[in-house]
Amino acid sequence: MTPDIPTSRFGQGCAAHTCLVRIEHYGESAPDAMEHTRATLAGLAAE
């Protein structure tokens, strides 16, 4: 999500070079970061 701040009074494009994030502590073991990618690629290869 980015703040809706126009580039100028004339242009209405978003000027945000930032984003708003919500960070929470994850207290468990992190899952394998590549598992989702492997499953997705395997599914695509089977098509």
- Asked if residue 1 has pLDDT above 70, the reply is no
pLDDT of residue 20: 77
Q: How many residues does the chain have?
A: 47
pLDDT digits (tens, 9 = 90+) for 16-32: 667 778 899 989 988 88
Number of domains in the chain: 1
Residue 21: predicted pLDDT: 83
Burial status of residue 15 (CB atoms within 10 A of its CB: 0-12, 13-18, 19 or more)? middle
Containing structural domain, residue 34 = 1-47
**What was the pLDDT predicted at 26?**
85
pTM (two decimals) = 0.32
**4 pLDDT above the threshold of 70:** no
